[in-house]
């Protein structure tokens, strides 16, 4: 830690915050708070991308940061909020596994990710390489969240936060992917979200109900 | 052990004994202010202790010697802890015994005695309080140990004075691990000291109380010792927290001058810490007892995260 | 150049036009026309590559060699025949009241866009764009699978979206790692994600990183291939979507996803000289074959039955590419072709059979031959072909794969043989009563388009009897490319 430039220290801090937020999402019971946490993750991601851009002079990262800010802090949470308001689903999220167990599994996953990341980050030339493990951990934790949640919207949030983790991995390990790829990914995420939004309405229409519980019934194999 | 070292040690202990009730009074006062109530006098805890000491003790019929012994054991354990926690200086004669794990052991000893004594008389409240206390302790201790391990990992030693010296001399920077560990430690301290979200020190409502339920059968000097010990516990936890996360200003050595300089700083830090505690207690609501595992689980998580983050980002 | 542009432009333009004009009487015709034009452009492109060799275009962003141009041609061809098939099929569905005009508009637009994303995935030289295109393919097919809006189709689409979304996120991480490894050699500007550049420096890529990247890529794209244990979405999506979508999912999308895996495998093979990538592919492939064979015997829905058969065949192909070497790769490519043709033909026949019976349940489709010999024989022949009966092409490729396995990976042969035997028994015993015996089916309001079924089966038959030398040379070239 000692001897790192200030921006790298800031990125480490933001990485730690991202990890904390990933755990917070894992533990969160309320859908609305989950969206807030997702937006907070977006803020941390924007900040870290901007700091990498500032610290390393990679100008294209400014665009990534702006894209992240718009997409992940404003647009996606806004869509989710709207969806929740329109669908009127505010009840608590129920996990399949209780929260302490989920947390313990989460810790195991973090240790696993750190081990996985270790050989890779040894090879990296970026100042921020040590955050790669945290990025993988965030991906894994979002994955865990998707597995343990039975309601549709938390699953989607888990999916989106997995995207966040991947984005963070891209910035921390390589200073970001080429612009065209990043734009493509952003487009896919946005389109995916819109499709899911439509999807929720289809579900509501289909069951003539605002209750997403039916989706759980659907989840069971026939 | 030189005479001057011995005196320094005594001074630190004396300061702890003297300041502990004051800290409790200060927290109560701050809380009253924050809640727009009339504040109790700052020195009320002293008066309470004094009043209790001058009363005649009443002991329940079925009580065993353990019941009488417990206040002394608990008080003694807390005094020991106060002597070894580096609150004023790091290089005191007892400092060699100031191992982080030993410290946790001292707290556990006190907890065990007080829980046994609470069950000794055989009242429903006592057993209930004891059971809850062990429940909370069972969850809080791993988290506390994790926090201490994180600190030991950073400094490469489990000896508290070494930890404090290493932390105080680290290069200025952003240490996410310490931030996480700090939050975890605060949460553990709240639980261990029977504070709000886990217990409410100001209530005698049977559904919620933990600490008060255990000392319900005590009176007079026994109660005074227990209250004083509780105050000392709060003081000790505050000092551990300050030593780990705000180590600047603790005298390194045992000379009188350094300790004299450290004392006002300690008082100032404790005052700030006490205010923060009052603020937390005002802002949060008490959790149901069955939510306590989640609260402490979060603390444990944070402590583990602190360790992991330290290993990954700062090594 | 111009052909390449045309291959991508036709489906994209077709999709946009179909979305704009909405559901008209001539919308299916536009759909067929766009697919036909795409196929013609793909054929011209293939000829060109065949004559002049590999092609790099638009600042190296697109790359065509024998390996992908063969898949481009196949994709465009099956895309075209499926469009032909879907014309009467979707009309019947509409008259049965299962689809509204708005849904048909969505269907046509998405069908073309789906073709576009697959062709883009095949043609792009950029590994990142490959990911983007495959994710795009997922998104379009999610809409196609949920077209009927029944609870079951919504469930299937949801499962598909979540599983493939998660899977493809793993692939993105693998891509990031690939970029990470390449960036040091090629620099961050542009080149580090281009497959041709990666291929050039593959021997110097960091083995550790590439190994980890390959695991993620294989899990990610493997989910889309439907490899066991990541196959859960596949039967549901096949069974609940409209039949033309099942046909293109099985016939094309799985191939394209496998193409992505193989492209990545080539890079990893170059960087990691051990058996690592090979063993992984063989393991996943064999697991898919065996598990799918056992699951086949438990199916009651005819489309699910053939969906599991697709998993089985994808497993065989993956296993073949895992073995590597000239013959196994050749056989793998051949199997890709014949499986794609046969499976889509079967789905065409099954689609009409299900329409006739009004159900997809195997027990309730009986005696197809007496009512409509074309559909009955189409299904019977297609089933025989997919089960590896000579003289169809599937037999040739499976035979090649099995003999290579016997020589190079003898331990795997018993599993393969047993699985093929079980699959044969399971599928044949279910399809036989569907085709022959007392009939339960009714007449259809429109004449079904059986042309594509027999064209596909004829091609498979030809490939089983005689592979044209030009085509064989082409396969050999492609097989050499993928090591």
What are the tens digits of pLDDT across the range B283-303? 877 777 777 787 888 888 888
Return all residues near B113 (Cβ < 8 A) that are at least 6 apart: B66, B69, B70, B73, B74, B77
Whether residue A202 has pLDDT greater than 80: no
Count CA atoms within 13 Å of residue B12 on its CB side. 34
Contact present, B and C (at least 3 Cβ pairs less than 8 Å): no
**What pLDDT does C32 receive?**
92
Q: How far apart are CA C431 and CA C436, in angstroms?
A: 9
pLDDT confidence band for A210 (50 / 70 / 90):
very low
Asked if C75 and C13 touch (Cβ cutoff 8 Å), the reply is: no
Residue C416 CA to residue C339 CA, distance in Å, equals 17
Query: End-to-end distance of chain B based on CA atoms, in angstroms?
Result: 37
B80: pLDDT strictly greater than 80 = yes
Tokens at B82, concatenated: 């106060």
- Whether residue B180 lies within 8 A of chain A, CB to CB, comes out as yes
Which three-class secondary structure state does DSSP give residue B159?
A: strand
ipTM: 0.86
> What are the two backbone dihedrals, phi and then psi, of residue C167, each rounded to the nearest 5 degrees?
-60, -45
CA distance C288 to B190: 54
What is the DSSP secondary structure assignment for residue C449, as one 8-state letter?
-
User: Phi, psi at residue B251, to the nearest 5°?
Assistant: -65, 135
| Residue B68: per-residue pLDDT | 84
Residue of B nearest to A8 (CA): B174
Within 8 A of B293 by CB-CB distance, chain A residues are 100
pLDDT above 80: residue B212: no
Q: Pick C129's closest partner by Cβ from A58, A181, A222.
A: A181
pTM listed for this prediction:
0.84
Closest residue in C to A182 (Cα–Cα)? C128
What contacts B242, CB < 8 A, 6 or more positions away?
Answer: B87, B266, B269, B270, B273
pLDDT band at B38 (very low <50, low <70, confident <90, very high): confident
Please write the tens of the pLDDT for every residue from C63-93.
Answer: 998 888 889 999 999 999 999 999 889 888 8
Is the per-residue pLDDT at C315 higher than 90?
A: yes
Q: Which residues of A touch B305 (CB under 8 A)?
A: 16, 19-20, 23, 110
The residue extents of the domains of chain A are 6-210
Best mutation site among A16, A103, A106, A116 for testing chain B: the one with the most B CBs within 10 Å?
Answer: A16
Rounded average pLDDT over B249-253: 69
At B41, phi and psi to the nearest 5? -60, 150
Query: CA of A180 to nearest chain B CA: how many angstroms apart?
Result: 31
Chain C residue with the nearest C-alpha to that of A129: C180
Lowest mean pLDDT among A93-97, B241-245, C90-94, C235-239: A93-97
Q: Would you say the C-alpha torsion B212, B215, B217, B223 has a positive or negative sign?
A: negative
- Residue in this structure with the two tokens 């004094």, named with its chain if needed: B50
Residue B82 has pLDDT above 60, yes or no: yes
User: Residue A92: is its pLDDT beyond 70?
Assistant: no
Residues A23, B309: Cα–Cα separation, whole Å = 13
Distance CA B263, CA B306 (A): 30
On whether the CB atoms of residues C367 and C345 are closer than 8 A, the answer is no
Whether chains C and A touch (3+ CB pairs under 8 A) is answered by yes
Q: Which of C121, C130, C159, C166 to mutate to test the interface with A (most CBs of A within 10 A)?
A: C166
pLDDT, position C348 = 92
Contacts of A120 in chain C (CB under 8 A): 177, 180, 208-209, 212
Nearest to A177 among C154, C166, C176 (CB): C176
- Whole-number Å distance between alpha carbons of A139 and B26: 46
All residues of chain C having their beta carbon less than 8 Å from the beta carbon of residue A205 are 149
Subunits with 3+ C-beta pairs closer than 8 A to C: A
Look up tokens 């290069």; give the residue.
B171
Return the biggest CA–CA distance within chain B: 60
**Residue A93 · residue A154 · CB < 8 Å:** yes
CA B17 to chain centre: 13
Q: Does B287 touch chain A (CB under 8 A)?
A: no
What's the pLDDT score for residue B205? 65
On the CB side of C228, CA atoms within 13 Å amount to 23
Section C308-330 average pLDDT:
92
Q: Residue C207, exposed/middle/buried by CB under 10 A (0-12, 13-18, 19+)? A: middle
Distance CA B309, CA A15 (A): 9
Task: Give the model's confidence band at B262: pLDDT under 50 very low, under 70 low, under 90 confident, else very high.
Answer: confident
Q: Does the CB of B179 have a partner CB in chain A at under 8 Å? A: yes
Show the tokens assigned to A191.
Answer: 């389109």
Q: Nearest CA to B12 among B248, B231, B253, B186? A: B253
Neighbours of chain B (3+ CB pairs under 8 A): A
In sequence order, what DSSP letters do the residues of C211-274 get, joined into one string? HHHHHHHHHHHHHHHT-TTS-THHHHHHHHS-HHHHHHIIIIIHHHHHHHHHHHHHHHHHH--S
Report residue C425's pLDDT band, with 50, 70 and 90 as the boundaries: very high
User: Mean pLDDT across chain B, nearest whole number?
Assistant: 81
* Cα maximum dimension of chain C: 69
* pLDDT(C369) > 80: yes
| Subunit contact A114:B304, Cβ cutoff 8 A | no
Q: Which residues of A touch C (CB under 8 A)?
A: 58, 116, 119-120, 123-125, 136, 139, 143, 146, 152, 155, 159, 162-163, 166, 169-170, 173-175, 177-178, 180-181, 184-185, 187-188, 191-192, 195-196, 199, 202-203, 205-207, 214-215, 218-219, 222
Number of residues in chain A: 222
Q: How confident is the model at residue C317 (pLDDT cuts 50, 70, 90)?
A: very high
Q: Model confidence over A58-75: pLDDT tens digits?
A: 788 888 888 889 888 888
Alpha helices in B246-287 (DSSP H): 256-283
Residues 6 or more apart in contact with residue C392 via CB below 8 angstroms: C338, C342, C384, C385, C457, C460, C461, C464
* Location of structure tokens 């802090």: A73
Check pLDDT > 60 for residue A217.
Answer: no
More confident residue, B205 or C414: C414
> For residues C258 and C317, is the Cβ–Cβ distance under 8 A?
yes
Residue keyed to tokens 């099956």? C78
Tell me which chain B residues have a C-beta less than 8 angstroms from the C-beta of A131: 313
> How much is the average pLDDT of B166-195?
81
Q: Dump strand ranges (E) for A45-86.
A: none
Residue B73 in this model has a pLDDT that exceeds 80? yes
Local structure of B121: helix, strand or coil: coil
């Amino acid at each position: 830690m000692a001897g790192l430039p200030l921006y790298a220290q800031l990125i480490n801090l933001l990485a730690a915050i991202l990890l904390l937020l990933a755990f917070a999402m894992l533990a969160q019971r309320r859908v609305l708070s989950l969206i807030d946490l997702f937006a907070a993750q977006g803020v941390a991601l924007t900040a870290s991308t901007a700091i990498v851009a500032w610290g390393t002079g990679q100008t294209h990262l400014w665009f990534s940061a702006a894209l992240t800010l718009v997409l992940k802090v404003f647009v996606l949470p806004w869509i989710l909020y709207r969806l929740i308001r329109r669908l009127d689903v505010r009840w608590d999220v129920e996990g399949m596994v209780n929260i302490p167990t989920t947390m313990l599994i989460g810790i195991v996953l973090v240790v696993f990710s750190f081990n996985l990341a270790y050989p890779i980050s040894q090879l990296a030339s970026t100042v921020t390489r040590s955050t790669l493990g945290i990025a993988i951990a965030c991906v894994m934790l979002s994955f865990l969240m998707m597995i343990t949640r039975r309601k549709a919207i938390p699953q989607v949030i888990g999916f989106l936060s997995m995207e966040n983790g991947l984005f963070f991995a891209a910035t921390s390990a390589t200073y970001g992917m080429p612009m065209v790829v990043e734009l493509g990914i952003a487009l896919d995420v946005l389109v995916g979200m819109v499709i899911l939004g439509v999807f929720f309405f289809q579900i509501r229409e289909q069951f003539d109900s605002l209750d997403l519980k039916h989706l759980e019934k659907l989840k069971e194999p026939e | 052990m030189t005479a001057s070292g011995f005196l320094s040690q005594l001074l630190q202990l004396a300061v702890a004994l003297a300041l502990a009730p004051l800290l409790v009074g200060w927290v109560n006062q701050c809380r009253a202010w924050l809640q727009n109530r009339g504040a109790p006098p700052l020195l009320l805890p002293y008066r309470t202790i004094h009043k209790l000491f001058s009363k005649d003790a009443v002991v329940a019929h079925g009580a065993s010697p353990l019941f009488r012994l417990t206040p002394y054991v608990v008080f003694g354990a807390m005094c020991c802890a106060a002597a070894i926690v580096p609150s004023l200086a790091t290089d005191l004669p007892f400092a060699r015994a100031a191992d982080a794990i030993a410290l946790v052991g001292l707290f556990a000893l006190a907890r065990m005695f007080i829980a046994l004594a609470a069950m000794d008389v055989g009242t429903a409240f006592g057993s209930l309080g004891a059971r809850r206390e062990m429940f909370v302790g069972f969850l809080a201790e791993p988290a506390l140990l994790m926090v201490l391990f994180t600190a030991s990992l950073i400094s490469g030693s489990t000896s508290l004075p070494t930890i404090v010296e290493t932390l105080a001399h680290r290069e200025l920077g952003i240490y996410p691990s310490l931030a996480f560990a700090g939050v975890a430690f605060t949460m553990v301290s709240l639980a261990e000291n029977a504070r709000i979200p886990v217990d409410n020190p100001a209530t005698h409502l049977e559904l919620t109380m933990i600490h008060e339920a255990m000392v319900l059968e005590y009176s007079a000097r026994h109660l005074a010792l227990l209250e004083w010990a509780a105050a000392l516990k709060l003081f000790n936890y505050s000092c551990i927290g300050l030593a780990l996360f705000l180590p600047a200003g603790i005298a390194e050595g045992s000379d009188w001058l350094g300790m004299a300089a450290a004392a006002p700083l300690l008082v100032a830090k404790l005052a700030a810490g006490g205010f923060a505690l009052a603020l937390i207690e005002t802002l949060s609501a008490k959790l149901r007892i069955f939510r306590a595992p989640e609260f402490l689980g979060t603390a444990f998580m944070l402590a583990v995260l602190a360790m992991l983050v330290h290993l990954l980002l700062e090594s | 150049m111009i052909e390449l542009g045309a291959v991508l432009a036709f489906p994209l333009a077709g999709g946009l036009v179909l979305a704009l004009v909405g559901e008209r009487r001539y919308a299916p015709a536009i759909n067929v026309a766009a697919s036909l034009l795409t196929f013609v452009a793909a054929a011209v492109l293939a000829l060109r590559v065949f004559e002049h060799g590999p092609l790099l275009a638009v600042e190296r962003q697109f790359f065509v060699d024998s390996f992908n141009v063969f898949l481009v041609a196949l994709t465009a061809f099956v895309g075209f025949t499926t469009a032909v098939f879907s014309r009467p099929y979707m009309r019947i569905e509409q008259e049965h009241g299962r689809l509204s005009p708005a849904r048909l508009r969505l269907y046509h637009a998405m069908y073309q866009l789906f073709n576009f994303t697959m062709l883009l995935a095949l043609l792009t030289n950029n590994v990142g764009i490959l990911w983007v295109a495959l994710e795009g393919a997922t998104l379009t097919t999610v809409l196609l699978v949920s077209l009927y809006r029944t609870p079951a189709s919504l469930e299937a689409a949801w499962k598909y979206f979540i599983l493939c979304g998660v899977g493809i996120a793993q692939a993105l991480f693998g891509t990031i790692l690939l970029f990470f490894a390449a960036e040091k050699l090629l620099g961050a500007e542009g080149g580090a994600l281009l497959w041709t550049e990666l291929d050039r420096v593959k021997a110097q890529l960091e083995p550790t990183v590439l190994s980890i990247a390959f695991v993620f890529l294989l899990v990610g794209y493997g989910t889309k291939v439907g490899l066991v244990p990541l196959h859960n979405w596949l039967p549901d999506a096949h069974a609940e979507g409209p039949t033309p979508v099942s046909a293109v999912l099985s016939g094309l999308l799985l191939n394209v996803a496998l193409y992505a895996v193989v492209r990545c495998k080539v890079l990893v093979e170059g960087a990691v000289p051990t058996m690592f990538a090979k063993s992984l592919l063989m393991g996943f492939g064999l697991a898919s074959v065996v598990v799918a064979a056992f699951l086949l015997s438990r199916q009651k829905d005819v489309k699910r039955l053939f969906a599991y058969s697709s998993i089985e065949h994808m497993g065989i192909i993956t296993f073949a590419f895992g073995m590597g070497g000239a013959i196994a790769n050749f056989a793998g490519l051949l199997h890709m072709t014949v499986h794609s043709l046969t499976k889509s033909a079967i789905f065409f026949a099954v689609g009409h059979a299900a329409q006739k019976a009004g159900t997809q349940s195997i027990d309730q489709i009986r005696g197809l031959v007496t009512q409509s010999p074309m559909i009955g024989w189409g299904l019977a022949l297609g089933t025989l072909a997919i089960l590896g009966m000579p003289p169809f092409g599937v037999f040739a490729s499976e035979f090649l794969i099995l003999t290579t396995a016997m020589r190079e990976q003898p331990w795997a042969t018993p599993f393969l043989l047993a699985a093929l035997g079980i699959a044969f028994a399971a599928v044949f015993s279910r399809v036989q009563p569907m085709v022959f015996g007392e009939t339960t089916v009714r007449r259809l309001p429109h004449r079904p388009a059986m042309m594509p079924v027999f064209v596909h089966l004829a091609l498979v038959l030809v490939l089983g009897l005689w592979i044209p030398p030009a085509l064989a040379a082409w396969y050999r070239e492609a097989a050499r490319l993928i090591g």
